[in-house]
Structure 1
Amino acid sequence: MPSTIVPKALEPGATIAFISPSARINHEFPGVMSRATSLLEGRGYKVREIYNRDTGIQSSISNRLAEVRTAFSDPTISAIICTIGGPTFTELIPALSADAELHSIIRANPKIVVGYSDISGLHWFLHAYTGLRTFYGPGAIPELGESSSVDDKSSPLAFSVNHLFRVITNREPIGDIPRSPTYTAKVPTIFRNPASVEPPELSPTPGWIWLRPGKAQGRLFGGCLTVIARLGGVRGIVPDWKGRIVFFETAIGDDEESGNPLPRVQAGIADLIAEGVFEEAAGLVVGRPFGYDTPEMREQYIGVIKGLLCEGRLASKNFPILFNIDIGHTSPMVTLPFDALAQLDSEKDQFSILEPGVL
């Protein structure tokens, strides 16, 4: 794989592009996109939304490939934020993998790239073919377009935005990963009513839980569990897992109200085990799972992790496991830099990034 390329820190007044390489719903949420744009412009950045309406499956694939190429090829764009995840990014991988000219363009003019969920596939592609460090963090829909005020320091929006910009603008080591005292347990109201400006309902955060104690250092890599389980079968983009601090989190369930079903979570972790992800892993970080909001439900989720990774043939691996971090399908969320050196230390109750995210 190519050597790591770390993008430059986002400078004041830079241009940020929104692209939609998976789900194509920008036009359904104009108010959300407008709020996300205003938020970034309010911080002094220029914003471009690169998006063309699709007319079918092949039209969508062509549009997305063109939009990705436009964003990476434009030297005036410094950062790319993916609007949302979705189910279809893998449709782009064959063409992106074959586009050697694009790989060269990206390496010559590296940009900050942010996204989560199905955007795990974009992160894996960029790491494998260009070496670019990217960032697992919020999108425009719904995070940056949330209806609450970024000036309200207690809001999920403020937490997510402040940590995102801490990671992509600051050239100092990122340091300790913060913890939000509250979170929202419900799906944003915009998914029922795109025009909704109802603020999120907040609950106390249960806090971090060490499922297995220990201390470890390793380079971060992972993504959304069900997505990365699929990506393990895509030749050419699978990372070397040796010595990694692996991270994963789980998506919202099919009913768009509850969490990912436990059998699916169990199957996803089993897939990673079968793919050898944990054979020489240094540690594991698990995001707060959407929909598992009672102590009983959290214990069921934890039971799956422990049953597969702390018992049986992997019990002797003894790498630390930290659960309930603000990553992925939860609000608020922190931003994690791929391939950055991180540390877990249960004795100090600490998860920290030992390097800057950007240059």
Structure 2
Amino acid sequence: MKSKPKPLKPGDTIGIIAPGGPSTRDELERGVQVLQNMGFHVTLGESVFHKRGYLAGEDHIRLKDIHQMFQNKGVQGIICMRGGDGSGRLLDRIDYDVIAKNPKVFVGYSDITALHIAFLQEAKLVTFHGPMVTSDMITEGFNEYTREAFLKAISWEKPLGKLKNPEEDTMKTIVEGRAYGEIVGGNLALVTSTMGTPFELDTRGKLLFLEDIHEGVYRIDRMLNQLRLAGKLQEAAGIILGEFLDYEPENPEDSLTLEEVISDLVVPLNKPAIMGWKCGHGNYKLTIPLGVKGELNATDRQISIVETATQ
């Protein structure tokens, strides 16, 4: 049985943790102010003040923050400070009973994909693929579209219904058809990193969502092919490709296009598939509940959430 968090409301306390990479004190303070301006109280984990190379401190500090924030009865929701690297290091050390017994709104993306997968599969917790404190909330990417999508997702007590791109951004049909299932996935590189581990993403009968940034076409090719060889693309009911950014090769004449890779690896599966959903690293960002049922209408380029994410 799924574990769903309570919806957040103004006056609730949000805990900020850094399971992955670090940020500066100035960035953190500005992000805290944004959350406070939205009506939330904020409490900070120890990890947000640490830096060890590309990590927000030692593994045990980041791990302790996860446990303490979920156990803290005075905290109603948890938002990750940023992504970066390092969340995957914690997967085999997390006490998933703590997560399951204390369901809370948990928000992040990119490197946080590792935690989304583990929380859903090990603790049955519905989580939210959405904006983070220093990588989004203090940038131009936290525009009205992104902000409203975020607040609706974490506070709505009904199914979110159709999740639409901004009017000027249309999605592209890859393979026509309809598919229905739980939405799972996130960052392509992080999903791929779970292959062969106890936390390998289960895509059977699911709507598989993938996005990424700073990965060349040949790397996207390699990762999609790994998922194909592992049966993950074939087992999915449908495939939703979000934004893929900053992938353009320096020498286009020596590369395939992203569209050619998708044509080679996704189209032959004959699964309903769509591309261009505004979720991921772009300036316009939907907040998506992971682990709840959705409907993909690839023919009409529509995606709907048909199950409540909170309770």
User: Residue 28 of structure 2 corresponds to which residue in structure 1?
Assistant: 33
CA contact (8 A) 1:80 1:114 kept: yes
Within the candidate set 205, 208, 211, 1:249 is matched to 211
User: Residue 91 of structure 1 corresponds to which residue in structure 2?
Assistant: 89
User: Residue 74 of structure 1 corresponds to which residue in structure 2?
Assistant: 72
Q: Following the alignment from structure 2 to structure 1, what is the Cα–Cα distance between the partners of residues 30 and 232? A: 39
Q: Deviations over 1:278-309 (max 9, x none)?
A: 22211111112112589xx8x92121111112
Measure how far apart 1:105 and its partner are: 2.6
Partner AA of 1:278 in structure 2: L
CA contact (8 A) 2:296 2:303 kept: yes
Moved over 4 A (4+): 54-59
User: Residue 175 of structure 2 corresponds to which residue in structure 1?
Assistant: 212
Partner AA of 1:301 in structure 2: L
User: Residue 176 of structure 1 corresponds to which residue in structure 2?
Assistant: 162
Q: Following the alignment from structure 1 to structure 2, what is the Cα–Cα distance between the partners of residues 8 and 293? A: 41
Q: Following the alignment from structure 1 to structure 2, what is the Cα–Cα distance between the partners of residues 352 and 72? A: 29
Within the candidate set 50, 53, 78, 1:53 is matched to 50
2:297 is aligned with 1:302: no
User: Residue 301 of structure 2 corresponds to which residue in structure 1?
Assistant: 349
Q: Normalising by structure 1, what TM-score?
A: 0.79
Tell me, what secondary structure is at the counterpart of 1:279? helix
Within the candidate set 123, 134, 137, 1:141 is matched to 134
CA contact (8 A) 1:19 1:82 kept: yes
Q: Following the alignment from structure 2 to structure 1, what is the Cα–Cα distance between the partners of residues 278 and 4? A: 24
Q: Following the alignment from structure 2 to structure 1, what is the Cα–Cα distance between the partners of residues 100 and 207? A: 25
Tell me, what secondary structure is at the counterpart of 2:70? helix
Pairwise CA RMSD:
2.3
Moved more, 16-25 or 50-59: 50-59
CA contact (8 A) 2:18 2:56 kept: no
Measure how far apart 1:251 and its partner are: 2.0
Q: Following the alignment from structure 1 to structure 2, what is the Cα–Cα distance between the partners of residues 293 and 170? A: 38
Q: Could you list the runs of 5+ residues in structure 2 that have no partner in the other structure?
A: none
Within the candidate set 10, 19, 22, 1:21 is matched to 19
Q: Deviations over 1:94-123 (max 9, x none)?
A: 211xx3xxx233222211101001101111
User: Residue 322 of structure 1 corresponds to which residue in structure 2?
Assistant: 274
Within the candidate set 105, 108, 127, 2:98 is matched to 105
Q: Following the alignment from structure 1 to structure 2, what is the Cα–Cα distance between the partners of residues 234 and 348? A: 36
Change (3 A) 1:347 1:212: closer
User: Residue 276 of structure 1 corresponds to which residue in structure 2?
Assistant: 231
CA contact (8 A) 1:167 1:356 kept: no
Tell me, what secondary structure is at the counterpart of 2:183? strand
CA contact (8 A) 1:52 1:63 kept: no
User: Residue 159 of structure 1 corresponds to which residue in structure 2?
Assistant: 145
CA contact (8 A) 1:34 1:145 kept: no
User: Residue 7 of structure 1 corresponds to which residue in structure 2?
Assistant: 5
Measure how far apart 1:347 and its partner are: 3.6
Percent identity reads 26
Measure how far apart 1:343 and its partner are: 0.8
Partner AA of 2:228 in structure 1: I
Measure how far apart 1:93 and its partner are: 1.7
2:131 is aligned with 1:131: no
Q: Deviations over 1:29-71 (max 9, x none)?
A: x333223212211121101121342457896112111111121
User: Residue 288 of structure 1 corresponds to which residue in structure 2?
Assistant: 243
Q: Following the alignment from structure 1 to structure 2, what is the Cα–Cα distance between the partners of residues 59 and 329? A: 24
Partner AA of 1:321 in structure 2: A
2:288 is aligned with 1:336: yes
Q: Following the alignment from structure 1 to structure 2, what is the Cα–Cα distance between the partners of residues 58 and 342? A: 34
2:187 is aligned with 1:224: yes
Partner AA of 1:40 in structure 2: L
Measure how far apart 1:181 and its partner are: 4.4
Q: Could you list the runs of 5+ residues in structure 1 that have no partner in the other structure?
A: 149-154, 183-204, 253-259
Partner AA of 2:112 in structure 1: I
Q: Normalising by structure 2, what TM-score?
A: 0.91
